[in-house]
Amino acid sequence: MSATPHMSDWGIGAYDPDLYLELIGVETTEPSVDVLERIHLGHVMTFPFSNLDVLLGRHPGVEPESVARRMMREGRGGYCFEHVQLMAGVLERLGFLVRRRLGRVRSPENQRTHMTLDVELDGRRWMMDPGFGLSLTGPIPREDCARRDEFFGALEIRRIVKDEGIEHWVLRRDDNILHVTDLLPVVPADVRSGHHVTSTLAGAGPFQTMLIVSRFTEEGHVTITSSGRTIRRPNRETEREDLTVVQVIDAVADLGITLDTATARALEERLRELRSH
């Protein structure tokens, strides 16, 4: 299968597919939807979603070498710009045809600060969304009214054509908009710009003022915020509990985020600062 033109622009050589597949526990053969399904699920159950370094004001950036090191070797987790670059780079090295996409979270009026990817396979496009937190656990066809049932709700994608014929695709969970993605070309500079807005621009979103760490688990899905923990399990009521600052830090580590002493101390100070306001 031919790969996306100008793959080298994305620095995919930084991503070791053998290490990635070992980490997520997937053995792959020729490109197929089944392989995409297993990779997507393995990814979201292995790599935590985390805005920790954005919250602490010390995120090193989203260059491929940094993404690969932090996510695959240092256990730092990441958010959409990191998750999607990692998955897209590995998939391209495995022979899949990948297109990176940008979108707007919750509202079509917001900045383009979310990233997904499409895989073109057997004449169809499959959207992958590993960096949203509570979203898809596997690919969904980028086809109008396509639906995927997850244990936490039904996800549906709708096609809207506007703005001089540009396609926009709305992903909803039940009646709630998760994000609106367009099909405009994406280049690495767009990702750096989106990260810059998200991590430094005041009022651009919650990541600078609220801790969000989450991961799918064997039992369901866990989200840790600045003040508490939310646990979702199939066929059970959602559980929410308040946590002390120390308990939040322990819960973050339990989800697979590596915390050295200095980082744990910095997180404690930031959480206490947020709670004092």
User: Tell me: the pLDDT tens digits for 191-238?
Assistant: 999 999 999 987 777 899 999 999 999 999 999 999 999 999 999 999
Structure tokens at 124: 């169809």
What 3-state class would DSSP assign to 95? coil
List, in order of start, the domains of the chain with CATH numbers.
Answer: 7-276 (3.30.2140.20)
pLDDT value, residue 5? 43
Contact 232, 221 (CB under 8 A): yes
User: Beta-carbon neighbour count of residue 11 at 10 Å?
Assistant: 16
pLDDT value, residue 4? 45
Torsion angle (degrees, nearest 10) of CA 44, 76, 132, 124: -50
pLDDT value, residue 247? 98
Give the C-alpha separation, 163 to 82, whole Å: 29
Give the C-alpha separation, 113 to 175, whole Å: 21
Number of helices and strands in the chain (H, E)? 8, 13
Partner residues linked to 161 by β-bridges: 167
- Tens digit of each residue's pLDDT, the chain (277 residues): 334 445 558 999 999 999 999 999 999 888 999 999 999 999 999 999 999 999 999 999 999 999 999 999 999 999 999 999 999 999 999 999 999 999 999 998 899 999 999 999 989 999 999 999 999 999 999 999 999 999 999 999 999 987 678 899 999 998 899 999 999 999 999 999 999 999 998 777 789 999 999 999 999 999 999 999 999 999 999 999 999 999 999 999 999 999 999 999 999 999 999 999 8
- Predicted TM-score (pTM) of the model is 0.94
What 3-state class would DSSP assign to 137? coil
Determine what percent of the chain is predicted with pLDDT higher than 90: 88
What 3-state class would DSSP assign to 253? helix
